[in-house]
Amino acid sequence: DADVTQTPRNRITKTGKRIMLECSQTKGHDRMYWYRQDPGLGLRLIYYSFDVKDINKGEISDGYSVSRQAQAKFSLSLESAIPNQTALYFCATSDSAKGTGAYEQYFGPGTRLTVT
Amino acid sequence: KQEVTQIPAALSVPEGENLVLNCSFTDSAIYNLQWFRQDPGKGLTSLLLIQSSQREQTSGRLNASLDKSSGRSTLYIAASQPGDSATYLCAVGRGSTLGRLYFGRGTQLTVWP
């Protein structure tokens, strides 16, 4: 089984709908991240969480919210979806306590979201 | 703010060539640098992680170097194969915000037989 899983893998929704993307990890990492990827723009950080009680905004947090339900779960919500939120969304994890491998990020397979 | 640039944006080479992908960053106060591979429509696979105290890392046909003072990293791929075709992404982690990565836009590599 994959270490970092994302659900759903594909989602089509309408403008104004609230949707939630979920991420789970079995790596035992303390840190989790949400990114979006747009063609030609690279990956941009939406939110990140260093532990269950520590959540921080990234570069492009407007229109998004997150919930860290447990160390292994980090959800991203679009409160009222709009077409320019159509993108590929990635969850990632890293471990702050792993010596020379600390902070190496591992990515999930992504969720392709289309807002019509 | 950390800016990461990758050159070239796209590269097409015949099988068997050795090639170099370039990454530059504006703030040398980095904690680490990570190279990823991304296949079309897929997630990112970590290839190599270089800590700020290291000069290079090697994995199979891949070698990544880091020069913090000049703000540069290179990914060297030896004896390229069609299976190496993918987008290669460079990302740097800043020392002041451990764990966050700043990504370049990637180099799209095509290796033809």
pLDDT(B70) > 60: yes
pLDDT in tens, A47-81: 999 889 999 999 899 999 999 999 999 999 999 99
pLDDT tens-digit readout, A15-39: 999 999 999 999 999 899 999 999 8
- Report residue A83: phi and psi, to 5°: -55, -30
- B32/A107 Cβ within 8 A: no
Which of A103, A108, A109 lies closest to B99 in CB terms? A103
Q: Collapse the DSSP code of B53 into the 3-class scheme (helix H, G, I; strand E, B; otherwise coil) and give the result.
A: coil
State the pLDDT at residue A11. 96
Q: Which of B 88-107 lie inside 8 A of A, CB atoms?
A: 89, 91, 93, 98-101, 103-106
Q: Do B34 and A105 touch (CB under 8 A)?
A: yes
Percent of chain B topping pLDDT 90? 78
Residues of B in contact with A58 (CB under 8 A): 100
Alpha carbon separation from B107 to A2, B43, B45, B78 (Å, rounded): 26, 15, 15, 16
Backbone angles phi, psi at B44, to 5 degrees: -95, 135
